[in-house]
Structure 1
C-alpha cells in the first residue's frame, strides 16, 4: 500500500506510527509543514518512508523567514511537500505571503532540476495552476486532495499533474466525481493523517486501504488490481525522478 501524503511527525506518537508503517511495509511520503521540521521528521524515516521538504501555505506568513533554510535543505530532498496555496477566507488575508512562498519554492525547484511536489490547492486551484504553468521545469506536481472544478481538473491534467486521493476525499460525491475523471495512470493514494478523519478520529496511514475499495468501485476493477496499478504508478514516478 501507498500513503503519498501523510504528516507522520504530527501524530501524538510519531515514532510508533513510523514503526508500524515500517512493519506493514507501507510506502509513505512523510510531508513536512516547515523547513525547520525537516531534521526531526527525517529522523523518523526508515525502510519505505520518504521525507518531503515543505512550507505549508497556511503557515507561509509566519514561516516565510525559513525560506533560506528551505534552499539549504533542498539539494538533500528529491521530494517537496506540503507546499501550495490556500484560498479559504481565514487564510486569504495572507495571500501575498502564500504566493511569495510558493513562487520561491517553484523557482528553487526549477533551478535545482525539478522535484516531485505534493501540492495543496484548496480553493486556489486556478492560482496554483497559473504558477505551475510559469515554472514548467519545477518538477512533477501531485495535487493532494484536489477539490477544484472539472474545468480546473482538465487543465491540471493537460499540465501533466498527478493526483493523490484518500478515504476522506472519496467520501464526498464531488471527490468521487473528480477522481473518476483523473487519469488512472497518474493517481496515488494518501491518508492526509492526522488531519483527515475516519470514524471521528484521525486516520492512520495504513487505513489508506479504504481508498482502494472506492477506487475499485469507480474504476470497475478488482481491489487487488487497483493496488497493483497504484504501486506501478509510484514506481514509474520514482523511475522518472531517478532519471532526472
Structure 2
C-alpha cells in the first residue's frame, strides 16, 4: 500500500514485474506534477494504482501545485504521499506543511472522500489533530507509523489503518508498535526504493519478510496471514 514506483532506477521494468506477479501495489507520488507520468507506468497493469500526492518535505517548494492537485483529484481514488514531518530539517517550513495538508484534507472531503496514505514522522499528534478537524476526508492509512504508543492508541480509536513493512519489523520500536496494532487494521507496504533488501532497493511488492513476522506475532500460518491482509485491503477499498 505504499511504494515510490516512479523513483526506481528502472520503473517500467518494476511495473512489468508487478504485473507478472499479480500483486496489488499502490504507487505514491511526491508532487501533483508527477502523477500523470507515474500513472502512465501502470497503464497495462490494472492492479497497480497511483496515488496523487504532495509530500510534506516538498511542501514549501511545491506549494504552487495545490491548484494542480485540485484539478487532478477527481481522477484519483487514492491520495498520497501526504502528511506532516516534524523532523528538524523540515521544521523551517512547518507552516507550509500545515497549509498543504489542511488543503489536501479539505479537498478530499469536498470530493467525497479518498483513501489516503499519510506520512507522520515526528508529527503523529498533529496529523491526528488535522484528521479530526476535517470530517469526511475518507480513509486514513498511516504509513510506517513511528509515533508513541499513546498516539497509536489514539489512531486506532480514530479508525486509522496502518501500512507496515520490512523496516518497521526490523526495529525494536517498530516491533513494539506492531504488537499493539489490531490485526484487522494492518496492511503491508515496502516504501521502495527507500528500503533495501540485501543491499538493493526492495521491490515494490516484496512483503515476504513482514508477512513472516506478522505470521509469528499473530500465531497464524503465512497463508492465513496473507488472507487476513488481503481481507483488510478489500475492506479499505470498500469504505
Greater displacement, 217-226 / 16-25: 217-226
How many residues of Structure 1 are paired with residues of Structure 2 in the alignment?
237
Question: Counterparts of 1:69-88 in structure 2 under 5 Å?
Answer: 69-88=68-87
| Aligned counterpart, 1:220 | 219
Off by >6 Å, runs of 4+ in structure 1: none
| Partner Cα distance (2:200, 2:12) in 1 | 19
> Is 1:12 matched up with 2:9?
yes
Question: Counterparts of 1:72-221 in structure 2 under 5 Å?
Answer: 72-221=71-220
The answer on whether the counterparts of 2:184 and 2:232 sit within 8 Å (CA) in structure 1 is yes
| Partner Cα distance (1:64, 1:162) in 2 | 27
Q: Using the TM superposition, give the Cα deviation of residue 206 of structure 1 relative to its aligned residue in structure 2, in angstroms.
A: 2.9
Q: Using the TM superposition, give the Cα deviation of residue 136 of structure 1 relative to its aligned residue in structure 2, in angstroms.
A: 2.4
Show CA shifts across 1:83-129 (max 9, x none).
Answer: 00011101111111100000000000011111100000000000000
Secondary structure in 2 aligned to 1:94? helix
| Aligned counterpart, 1:230 | 229
> Is 1:25 matched up with 2:22?
yes
| Partner Cα distance (1:129, 1:5) in 2 | 19
| Partner Cα distance (1:116, 1:193) in 2 | 20
Show CA shifts across 1:24-44 (max 9, x none).
Answer: 001000000000001110001
The answer on whether the counterparts of 1:168 and 1:198 sit within 8 Å (CA) in structure 2 is no
The answer on whether the counterparts of 1:82 and 1:120 sit within 8 Å (CA) in structure 2 is yes
The CA RMSD measured in Å over matched residues stands at: 0.8
| Aligned counterpart, 1:37 | 34
The answer on whether the counterparts of 1:6 and 1:205 sit within 8 Å (CA) in structure 2 is yes
The answer on whether the counterparts of 1:21 and 1:205 sit within 8 Å (CA) in structure 2 is yes
The answer on whether the counterparts of 1:176 and 1:218 sit within 8 Å (CA) in structure 2 is no
TM-score relative to the length of structure 1 = 0.95
| Aligned counterpart, 1:58 | 57
Secondary structure in 2 aligned to 1:148? coil
Secondary structure in 1 aligned to 2:60? helix
Secondary structure in 1 aligned to 2:62? helix
Q: Using the TM superposition, give the Cα deviation of residue 198 of structure 1 relative to its aligned residue in structure 2, in angstroms.
A: 2.0
Unaligned runs of 5+ in 1: none
The answer on whether the counterparts of 2:163 and 2:187 sit within 8 Å (CA) in structure 1 is yes
